[in-house]
């Protein structure tokens, strides 16, 4: 066909295949003739399709904010809850590669939930060292062995292997100069961030301890607990909504909180809770979790009395919180990038 398309050929095929797969067998689907700007003809109705990549809220918002007319169907790898709501509010149909869909095309109505889990790509290669190195690079640390080792606390050998992996995956470009001080360049920061988020989602640790806190102001209470931990040399770093609100104020109140601590067992987390003057309780508003990487501990910083994790980890954690978290993640990324 001799027509201009807004998608690359690979994503066109993926988007069209995902849409066709969820349509009833009785539906007639064919390619439009030359001169027709539509992507597909479904039961005689021309459709304009847009590819939304990973399917996060920000991906969908960028499509909906385009100056041109809105698409009929938006397709993504896996549409997040926030993205689904955004499209529903805009009256735009959607489908993703897990088989989930909400489509209204003329008399065709399709509502389906996911039929498969998200494909875990290359998870065995995204080790904690690779995650830590990516966190440092996304935070602006120069992609050299020396700089990443200094920022994260990893050994130079671990950083060498991590940088090599990220280079082989196409996220970094090597320069001719060799050695621990030789730098690599990030090829596409957004793609590196997306790959990092996918790896975080697939390596999430379930071990956590819920503890109770008193008082209505959860943030002030955590600051007080943090002072006790600091006095006892307990390493900690907040993440999720409370950390995001310290970095990029967005919401008016935070009721539940997630904190990383340097304990990989429930017994260790219990001891840390006790040091902070709090006790385990089912449904407690404060959740203690083990540090996922060394960089989350070494690169945390203090903001308004709170220790906050590096922004890439906070961003990834927000995407698991639901619509509210996605909104906060989108806002945090915009602030970090100066938009």
Please state whether beta strands 101-105 and 108-112 pair in parallel, antiparallel, or not at all (unpaired).
Answer: antiparallel
Number of domains present in the structure of the chain: 3
In this structure, the answer to whether residues 300 and 278 fall within a common structural domain is: yes
pTM for the model stands at 0.75
In sequence order, which ranges of 127-169 are alpha helices (DSSP H)? Answer: 128-138, 145-152, 156-168
Q: What is the pLDDT of residues 156-173, one digit of tens each?
A: 989 999 999 999 999 999
| Confidence class for position 228, pLDDT limits 50, 70, 90 | very high
In this structure, the answer to whether residues 174 and 234 fall within a common structural domain is: no
Residue 117, pLDDT above cutoff 80: no
- Least confident interval from 20-29, 141-150, 259-268: 20-29
Q: Do residues 260 and 237 make contact, with C-beta atoms less than 8 angstroms apart?
A: yes
DSSP-assigned letters across all residues of 50-100: EE-TT--HHHHHHHHTSSSPPPSEEEESS--HHHHHHHHHHT-EEEETTS-
Q: What is the pLDDT of residues 19-75, one digit of tens each?
A: 888 888 788 888 887 667 788 888 888 888 999 999 999 999 999 988 667 899 999
Interatomic CA distance for residues 110 and 199, integer angstroms: 31
Question: What are the structure tokens assigned to 320, written together?
Answer: 């698991």
CATH of the domain at 134: 1.10.10.10
Question: What are the structure tokens assigned to 309, written together?
Answer: 């994790």
In this structure, the answer to whether residues 292 and 330 fall within a common structural domain is: yes
Could you count the other beta carbons within 10 Å of the beta carbon of residue 319?
Answer: 22
In this structure, the answer to whether residues 91 and 135 fall within a common structural domain is: no
| Confidence class for position 299, pLDDT limits 50, 70, 90 | very high
Q: Do residues 330 and 54 make contact, with C-beta atoms less than 8 angstroms apart?
A: no
Could you count the other beta carbons within 10 Å of the beta carbon of residue 47?
Answer: 20
In a domain, 101, yes or no: yes
In this structure, the answer to whether residues 179 and 284 fall within a common structural domain is: no
In this structure, the answer to whether residues 146 and 184 fall within a common structural domain is: yes
CATH of the domain at 70: 3.40.1350
In a domain, 329, yes or no: yes
The average pLDDT across 192-207 equals 86
Give the CA count within 13 Å in the CB-facing half-sphere of 160. Answer: 7
Q: Do residues 16 and 31 make contact, with C-beta atoms less than 8 angstroms apart?
A: no
The average pLDDT across 282-293 equals 91
**Range(s) of the domain holding residue 25:** 9-112
Residues ≥6 apart with Cβ < 8 Å to 76: 51, 52, 53, 54, 55, 59, 60, 83, 94, 96, 97
| Confidence class for position 176, pLDDT limits 50, 70, 90 | low
Q: Which is more confident, 304 or 226?
A: 226
In a domain, 118, yes or no: no
Residue 88, pLDDT above cutoff 70: yes
Residue 201, pLDDT above cutoff 60: yes
In this structure, the answer to whether residues 108 and 137 fall within a common structural domain is: no
pLDDT at position 300: 96
Q: Which is more confident, 240 or 255?
A: 240
Distance from chain centroid for Cα 175: 29
In this structure, the answer to whether residues 247 and 326 fall within a common structural domain is: yes
In a domain, 292, yes or no: yes
pLDDT at position 24: 83
pLDDT at position 124: 52
**146, 175, 202 - which closes a domain:** 202
In this structure, the answer to whether residues 215 and 300 fall within a common structural domain is: yes
In this structure, the answer to whether residues 160 and 82 fall within a common structural domain is: no
pLDDT at position 121: 41
In this structure, the answer to whether residues 245 and 321 fall within a common structural domain is: yes
In a domain, 324, yes or no: yes
| Confidence class for position 319, pLDDT limits 50, 70, 90 | very high
Share of the chain above pLDDT 90, in %: 53
In a domain, 2, yes or no: no
Nearest to 134 by CA among 301, 257, 315, 287: 315
In sequence order, which ranges of the chain are alpha helices (DSSP H)? Answer: 9-22, 57-64, 81-90, 128-138, 145-152, 156-168, 189-202, 218-231, 240-247, 266-275, 294-298, 311-318, 323-336
CATH of the domain at 315: 3.30.460.40
**112, 141, 166 - which closes a domain:** 112
In this structure, the answer to whether residues 197 and 265 fall within a common structural domain is: no
**149, 176, 202 - which closes a domain:** 202
């Amino acid at each position: 066909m001799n027509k201009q398309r807004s998608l690359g050929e690979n994503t066109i095929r993926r988007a069209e295949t995902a849409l066709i797969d969820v349509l009833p067998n009785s539906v007639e689907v064919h390619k439009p003739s030359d001169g027709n700007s539509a992507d597909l003809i479904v039961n005689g109705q021309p459709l304009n399709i847009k590819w939304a990549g990973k399917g996060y809220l920000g991906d969908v918002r960028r499509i909906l904010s385009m100056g041109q007319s809105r698409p009929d169907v938006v397709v993504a790898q896996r549409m997040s809850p926030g993205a689904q709501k955004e499209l529903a509010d805009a009256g735009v149909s959607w489908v993703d590669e897990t088989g989930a869909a909400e489509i209204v095309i003329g008399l065709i109505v399709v509502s389906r939930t996911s039929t498969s889990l998200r494909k875990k790509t290359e998870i065995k290669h995204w080790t904690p060292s690779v995650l830590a190195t990516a966190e440092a690079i996304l935070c602006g640390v120069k992609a050299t062995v020396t700089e990443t080792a200094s920022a994260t606390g990893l050994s130079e050998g671990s950083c060498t292997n991590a940088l090599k992996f990220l280079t082989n995956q196409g996220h970094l470009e090597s320069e001719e100069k060799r050695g621990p001080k030789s730098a690599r360049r990030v090829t596409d920061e957004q793609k590196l961030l997306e790959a990092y988020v996918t790896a975080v989602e697939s390596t999430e640790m379930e071990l956590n301890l819920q503890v109770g806190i008193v008082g209505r102001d959860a943030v002030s209470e955590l600051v007080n607990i943090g002072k006790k931990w600091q006095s006892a040399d307990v390493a900690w770093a907040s993440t999720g909504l409370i950390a995001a609100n310290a970095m990029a104020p967005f919401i008016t109140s935070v009721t539940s909180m997630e904190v990383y601590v340097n304990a990989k067992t429930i017994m260790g987390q219990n001891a840390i809770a006790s040091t902070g003057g709090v006790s385990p309780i089912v449904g407690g508003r404060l959740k203690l979790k083990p540090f996922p990487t060394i960089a989350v501990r070494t690169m945390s910083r203090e903001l308004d009395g709170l220790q906050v994790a590096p922004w890439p980890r906070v961003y990834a954690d927000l995407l698991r919180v639901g619509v509210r978290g996605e909104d906060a993640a989108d806002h945090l990324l915009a602030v970090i990038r100066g938009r």
